[in-house]
Chains A and B, each alone.
Chain A
Amino acid sequence: MSAKVEEQVREEHPLEKILRMDRIPHIWCPTCGLGTTVTALSSALEQLQLDTNKVAVVSGIGCTGRVAGYMKLDSFHTTHGRAVPFAVGLHIARPDLKTIVFSGDGDLISIGGNHFIHTARRNVDMTIICVNNFIYAMTGGQVAPTTPLTAKAATTPYGNAEHPFNLPLLAASSGAVYVARWTALHVRRLTVAIKEAIQKPGFSFVEVIAPCSTLYARINKLGTGLDLMKFYHDNSVIRHGADLNDVDIDFQSKIVVGKFVDIEKPTYIDCLNAGNKRAFGDKYKPYGGGNGDN
């Protein structure tokens, strides 16, 4: 190796500042979409030049649940489906922090579905990144509430007989102020979406369609991880502001991606303060978090 080339070798991984290098290698499979999504979040944080001391990540259970363990941030790996309510408590206690929930489709929408819609309804200021791989991966490929109709899974060996959730429609109709969907192929656009979501006051939601070659692709004979990326390339349709009734995902159908919702609405804490101000006038000191003495 020449001296000139050696100079170009970086001693640090570019994301060393934001990843817990003492926990790498991670447990995810090769070609999994999670790595790309974590990279997108990491880049977003870097580009936003946020003080990473003031960012907390909360996750639940499943492959995506492990994200909290790899991010060098205050990070909480909670129970299955409960990342969102845990994050609600954390956010209310410390509204000065950026609270990010990283969650899989099963974790967030099946077992955690009720928490998801209610937190969107309250417009609690947090960012939800949902990695949707259409399947329960950690437990071995069982059907999820996002598995397309007719797709196979370990528990739907003859094809899924249930209609899946349309996540952007669910998020928007529950009250989210920012909703976007990208695939793991759209790294730059995904990074932009995460940046926008983090900056957005209120409940923001980014769905990431991500390949699971080990289970979803294998069970459905869709090829390798690379084949799935090619599929995203050929079948993604960018349609910003799309009618959310039209963004369902059928088995191997076109995938409508883009920024769908970006609106202004008072957050939970805004409304709390406004309500108490109405009731108590100047006696009320706007809530700023903590034990009430900061």
Chain B
Amino acid sequence: MKADPKNVLTGAHYLDGNHACAEGAIAAGCKFFAGYPITPSTEIAERVSRRFPLIGGVFIQMEDELASMNAILGASWGGVRSMSCTSGPGFSLMMENFGLGLMLETPCVLVNVQRGGPSTGLPTLPGQADMMQARWGSHGDYEVIALAPDSPQESFELAVHAFNLSEKYRMPVLIMTDECVGHMTEKVVIPDADQIELIERRYTDKKPGEAWPFEETEDLVSPMLPVGQGYKFHVTGLTHDYRGYPVINAEAQHKNVSRLMDKVRKHADDIIWLEEKDVDGADVVVVSYGISSRVVQPAIQRAVKDGIKVGQIKMVTVWPFPEKRIAELAGKVKSLIMVEMNFGQVFLEMDRCAKGKCETYLVGHAGGTVHKPDEIYKTIKEAAK
């Protein structure tokens, strides 16, 4: 399906990451947004609230983030593409029902414009320290999909991509951006609507009475059931069977949770999106995501001038983690370096996957600003020794 031209602001614009993200969501056909104001994410909500009335969408400012997350789940079951955005403390509040979204296998998109934490932390300055919360923040065992844009242009593109992944895999998808990207203004080129490919929601082709909300399918993604058409289905946050009925025992739990995990794990190759540069034959590979993947580049360029063989991996998707690729590289390179605005979160995953086959380095800090290329350069020099 192509995007609807009435939703797409085709042309070259000078936009910040948050506004671009909102435009991406709108281009993807988002028609319901429930949110609660929080710095530095609010521009997304503001832009959506301005744009929606004339394209048939509804923006609602909810009483809190708990409500926002639930409202987008309800709207998604109502058949409407829905999203919310938040930051820091709001992301914590959303975690409970992010889990409900995963359990009910509900397509929707949630944006976290990361700021410095914990607690109120740094409302107006960037961080990347919610990455493990994105992975494990709701209780229980599950897999997630999380994307990290490095610019306003990518904020637009990944918003569209996030909606596509959420419909394809029938689950909430996270956009883990940050204050720097969110508030950074750059040229954003929005293509014609017919250049934007959208994945449509898959609904059952069975008749009411014959269809169930969590049917076993080969690709582990059950078609959804539409409301209001006589299916009279039931879904629950309790552990459930293919009918959506609660079943409270270990066997049902195994089946239900495995399904949620395998849905992502078995499609990891399709979901994982890495951008690699000069990785083959490199002695040192710098791994990073979001804004950090951008500020590493001057450092890499400088190291290359010194004669060091440095490659780069930019993780457009951070979750699911590219386990296979990292394990493979660990056997080939001298060192892997993770650059992120925290004291080592995604680094732990990289280190785990390297299994001691190469040196691993972290260039991390507590957030508040992006990395100085100098710090990264020094670590590359060290790692190349």
Do chains A and B directly touch (beta carbons under 8 Å) in the complex?
A: yes
How far is A60 from B385 in the complex, measured between Cα atoms in Å? 59
Question: Which of A58, A88, A93 contacts B80, CB < 8 Å?
Answer: A93
Chain A residues contacting B100 (CB-CB under 8 Å) are 78-79, 82
Contact indicator B233/A75 (Cβ below 8 Å): yes
Question: Which of A77, A81, A86, A279 contacts B73, CB < 8 Å?
Answer: A86
CB of B249 closer than 8 Å to a CB of A? no
Question: Which of B70, B75, B227, B233 contacts A78, CB < 8 Å?
Answer: B70
Contact indicator B234/A77 (Cβ below 8 Å): yes
How far is A87 from B71 in the complex, measured between Cα atoms in Å? 7
Q: Which residue of B lies closest to A288 (CB)?
A: B56
CB of A114 closer than 8 Å to a CB of B? yes
CB of A115 closer than 8 Å to a CB of B? yes
CB of A163 closer than 8 Å to a CB of B? no
Chain A, range 1-46, C-beta contacts under 8 Å to B: 20, 22-23
Contact indicator B246/A86 (Cβ below 8 Å): no
How far is A81 from B82 in the complex, measured between Cα atoms in Å? 21
Question: Which of B55, B56, B74, B230 contacts A88, CB < 8 Å?
Answer: B74
- Tally chain B residues at the interface, Cβ within 8 Å: 50
Q: Which residue of B lies closest to A66 (CB)?
A: B246
Say whether, besides A23-B245, A75-B234, A82-B100, A97 and B228 are in contact (CB < 8 Å).
Answer: yes
Chain B, range 141-174, C-beta contacts under 8 Å to A: none
CB of A216 closer than 8 Å to a CB of B? no
**A51-93 near B? 1/0 per residue, CB < 8 Å:** 0111010100000000011001111111101101111111111
Contact indicator B236/A292 (Cβ below 8 Å): no
Contact indicator B237/A291 (Cβ below 8 Å): no
Q: Which residue of B lies closest to A18 (CB)?
A: B232
Q: Which residue of A lies closest to B234 (CB)?
A: A75
Binds A, one of B26-34, B113-121, B325-333: B26-34
Contact indicator B79/A93 (Cβ below 8 Å): yes
Contact indicator A53/B232 (Cβ below 8 Å): yes
Contact indicator B78/A289 (Cβ below 8 Å): yes
Q: Which residue of A lies closest to B231 (CB)?
A: A74
Contact indicator A93/B233 (Cβ below 8 Å): no
Contact indicator B232/A94 (Cβ below 8 Å): no
Contact indicator B70/A118 (Cβ below 8 Å): no
How far is A73 from B228 in the complex, measured between Cα atoms in Å? 9
Chain A residues contacting B72 (CB-CB under 8 Å) are 89
Chain B residues contacting A73 (CB-CB under 8 Å) are 232
Say whether, besides A90-B77, A292-B31, A52 and B70 are in contact (CB < 8 Å).
Answer: no
Question: Which of A69, A76, A85, A94 contacts B246, CB < 8 Å?
Answer: A69
Q: Which residue of A lies closest to B108 (CB)?
A: A89
Max chain B CB contacts within 10 Å: which of A74, A283, A287?
A74
Q: Which residue of B lies closest to A122 (CB)?
A: B60
How far is A58 from B227 in the complex, measured between Cα atoms in Å? 12
Chain B residues contacting A68 (CB-CB under 8 Å) are 234, 236
Say whether, besides A74-B233, A77-B236, A290-B79, A85 and B228 are in contact (CB < 8 Å).
Answer: no
Chain A residues contacting B235 (CB-CB under 8 Å) are 75-77
Chain B residues contacting A280 (CB-CB under 8 Å) are 53-54
How far is A72 from B208 in the complex, measured between Cα atoms in Å? 12
Chain A residues contacting B70 (CB-CB under 8 Å) are 78-79, 82, 85-86, 88-89
Say whether, besides A291-B29, A291-B80, A85 and B71 are in contact (CB < 8 Å).
Answer: yes
Chain B residues contacting A76 (CB-CB under 8 Å) are 74, 77, 104, 234-236
Chain A residues contacting B75 (CB-CB under 8 Å) are 89-90, 92-93
How far is A74 from B228 in the complex, measured between Cα atoms in Å? 7
**B60-78 near A? 1/0 per residue, CB < 8 Å:** 1011101110111111111
Q: Which residue of B lies closest to A88 (CB)?
A: B71
Q: Which residue of A lies closest to B67 (CB)?
A: A85
Contact indicator A92/B236 (Cβ below 8 Å): no
Say whether, besides A92-B75, A276-B53, A291-B81, A82 and B67 are in contact (CB < 8 Å).
Answer: yes
Chain A to chain B contacts (Cβ below 8 Å), 16 pairs: A56-B227, A68-B236, A75-B235, A76-B74, A76-B235, A78-B100, A79-B100, A89-B71, A90-B77, A93-B75, A97-B78, A115-B67, A118-B63, A285-B56, A287-B56, A291-B81
* A contact residues vs B (CB 8 Å cutoff): 20, 22-23, 52-54, 56, 58, 68-69, 72-79, 81-82, 84-94, 96-97, 114-115, 118, 272, 276, 279-280, 283-285, 287, 289-293
Given A88-B60, A93-B74, A291-B80, 13 other A-B residues pairs in contact with their CB atoms under 8 A: A22-B245, A56-B228, A77-B234, A77-B246, A79-B96, A82-B66, A82-B100, A85-B74, A92-B58, A94-B227, A97-B78, A289-B78, A292-B57
* B contact residues vs A (CB 8 Å cutoff): 4, 29, 31-32, 34, 53-58, 60, 62-64, 66-68, 70-82, 96-97, 99-100, 104, 227-238, 245-246
